[in-house]
Structure 1
Amino acid sequence: MKGTFVLTWILIIYLSQIAVQSQYYSEILPYDPEPVRVTNLHFYLHETLNGQNPTAVNIAQANITNNSSVPFAILAVVDDILKIGPEDNSEVIGNAQGLGLLLAGNTTTGVMYSDFGFTAGKFNGSSISIFSRNTIIEPGREVAVVGGRGKFRMAKGFALLTTYFLNATAVIIEFNVTVIHY
């Protein structure tokens, strides 16, 4: 009986030490305690495919698909212009820099990673990052916002894309973005 009593006290003391040591971890807050914000953005991406100053350039393609009539396995780099409107003379508010991988199958799709950096207005110096599958030939599609910096720190959300204009030399895409951030 005395041995059981001593063993019980040893277990109580041991368990109290474990609880004290784990308190250090329970004190840490993983996120900034500022309230969450939701921001809606609306802008147009202007991409030039050919000509004097293209903003999208193919940098690699698999040898087995070089002669294909459908783009497949093409890696492109982009430095597109962001504007308030679809017109050429619209105010420039930033640029989208990143990579796109063109795929093909039943529909032409791509995987895009772009950092949308804002250089004017309320969000000057901030950016959002998009990394998502993009069904390029669909007139309307949704892509994921996976991060951000500046005023869009720890961003997440989505962007609804609508092809506004498309021909062999230029593309204009309308972006309606919902960003959740701190």
Structure 2
Amino acid sequence: MTNTSAPHFGQVFVMDDPLTLGPNITSKLVGRAQGIYASASQSDWAFLMALNFAFMEGKYNGSNLSILGRNAILSDVREMPIVGGSGVFRFARGYAQARTHTVDLKTLDAVVEYNVYVLHH
């Protein structure tokens, strides 16, 4: 990290967050969003995301979707590729669009909406 680097450049974060149907913490829990993200840009707020949606409910129970891509968090909409999956989502390909719903600048907690478009067998 240098004096001219973007804030937090090089930091790695691990997540295990609730995956819900809606933006409220009281929304129905359908799985977990688990993975790692690293601040990978020296010039802006962009993360390298390695993210799994691990489903624990309904017909997707036990299945996973895997996302790997760049997340420029200050953009209104960020598109990241679906690179695979397991269970129902075996051989998955597609993309996810992320939109920040809310963010708390004091805690840096955020609620992010993901719209996922996926083809699978």
Q: What TM-score do the two structures reach when normalised by structure 2?
A: 0.90
2:95 and 2:70 map into 1 onto residues whose CA distance is: 12
2:25 and 2:36 map into 1 onto residues whose CA distance is: 24
Give yes or no for the alignment of 1:89 onto 2:26.
Answer: yes
Q: How does 1:29-178 map to 2 (within 5 A)?
A: 64=1, 70-168=7-105, 169=107, 170-178=109-117
Which of the pair has the greater relative contact order for Cα pairs under 8 Å at 6+ separation? Answer: 1
Alpha-carbon deviation of 1:65? 5.3
Q: Which ranges in structure 1 are unaligned for 5 or more consecutive residues?
A: 1-63
Q: Contact 1:70 / 1:104 at 8 angstroms: preserved in 2?
A: no
Q: Contact 2:6 / 2:44 at 8 angstroms: preserved in 1?
A: no
Deviations 1:109-137 (A, max 9, x none): 01010111000122111110001111111
The structure with more helix, counted as a fraction of residues:
1
Letter in 1 for 2:115: N
SS of the aligned residue for 2:88 comes to: helix
Q: Contact 1:96 / 1:114 at 8 angstroms: preserved in 2?
A: yes
Q: What TM-score do the two structures reach when normalised by structure 1?
A: 0.61
Q: Percent identity?
A: 39
2:6 and 2:116 map into 1 onto residues whose CA distance is: 33
1:171 and 1:137 map into 2 onto residues whose CA distance is: 12
The structure with more strand, counted as a fraction of residues:
2
Q: Contact 2:82 / 2:92 at 8 angstroms: preserved in 1?
A: yes
The structure having more radius of gyration, on CA atoms, is 1
Q: Which ranges in structure 2 are unaligned for 5 or more consecutive residues?
A: none
RMSD: 1.7
Q: Contact 2:65 / 2:84 at 8 angstroms: preserved in 1?
A: yes
Alpha-carbon deviation of 1:69? 7.0
